Structure 1
């Protein structure tokens, strides 16, 4: 086996490693977003990234691990959100959370992984488990802990159900007139409901 063949089938030179990993993650997010978890394959991700399947396995392992890594990287900035959402008057936390969630959806960079995880989570338990780990455990429970309210986790999950359901109809299923409605109008109607879940007796 020649050196060139070994490089094609094995690890890339050290200087290319970071770019290759990022390219695989980008391809994975696009594949999961377009095809969902079930129909996405490691081979398809590798083809989209322009690498060998073995290289995808080398960096990320199983399809589940690739899915989690692709979503986690995109959501990394959002993991600092709980403190910012909880910081401020308690009677405004519903609006802050609502604005944060829809801000993520309106951002093209984070919308693709959101589409991927939601489309996949509704039909596949493995993807649903990733959703629970990243969104429920890391984000919602941290928000609940910051609020220091009775039944905080249940309150946070009810608020999330309201927000995720609305986002599904607007961005995934694209039900009209919700899909084309003014964002500020949606926030104005939805934020008080979220506030009620979080702070009402």
Structure 2
């Protein structure tokens, strides 16, 4: 007597991972507003109902996708030695012609116009890259200084890689890194006690 083959147990972790990986790609390519749950499901090889089952909503999925995209180091690493120099040279290399796209920046650029997405992106920046950079900074106002540095990083990426302004797009990487390091150094270096105004002064 023949018996039916055993039913394959669904791998919930693999399904969740496939959905999340597809969502990062879809949100990066199209932004939060234009990315559809159905398209994400098709890319992941699941039904749209599975997305609701694992993530609750498109907003919940986007939150997880932002965490996934922003958590790994891209330009900001984990070492504070020669921080301005390292940041500048990494940024110059990662924005050079032919370099792999900086997907977290693309995700930010294409999704930020949506107010719902902007709040999630803000938390993602502050929780991941902002906090990572702030931990590397000595002295007061680390959060503010970290985000000023990130503003320079993001602006350089936007003009060099997306807009392609002539001066930045054609700048030699080493010279660009030298100029960036000079701009970053006053922000990331610990302010001397003599330059910190006394309270109430």
Q: TM-score range with shorter-chain normalisation?
A: 0.7 to 0.9
How much is the aligned-residue C-alpha RMSD, in angstroms? 2.9
Give the C-alpha shift of residue 159 in structure 1. Answer: 1.1
Instruction: Determine which of 49, 56, 67 is the counterpart of 2:51.
Output: 56
Name the stretch that deviates more: 29-38 or 97-106: 97-106
Cα contact 2:105–2:154 (8 A) shared by 1? no
What corresponds to 1:3 in structure 2?
none
Structure in which a larger fraction of residues adopt helix: 1
In the other structure, the counterpart of 2:106 is 115
Task: Mark the structure with the bigger radius of gyration.
Answer: 2
Distance 1:82 1:182 in 2: 23
Question: Unpaired runs of 5+ in structure 2?
Answer: 1-6, 196-201
Once residues 127 and 137 of structure 2 are traced to their aligned partners in structure 1, the CA distance between those partners, rounded to angstroms, is: 15
Q: Which residue of 1 aligns with 2:36?
A: 41
Contact 1:94–1:191 (8 Å) recurs in 2: yes
Q: Does 1:168 align with 2:185?
A: no
Q: Which runs of 5+ in 1 are unaligned?
A: 1-6
Rounded to whole Å, the distance in 2 between the matches of 1:103 and 1:21 is 33
Give matches, 1:1-201, under 5 Å: 13-15=9-11, 17-78=12-73, 83-84=78-79, 86=80, 88=81, 92-101=82-91, 108=100, 111-121=102-112, 123-179=113-169, 181-199=171-189, 201=195
CA distance in structure 2 between the partners assigned to 1:192 and 1:20 by the alignment: 47
| TM-score, normalising length: structure 1 | 0.74
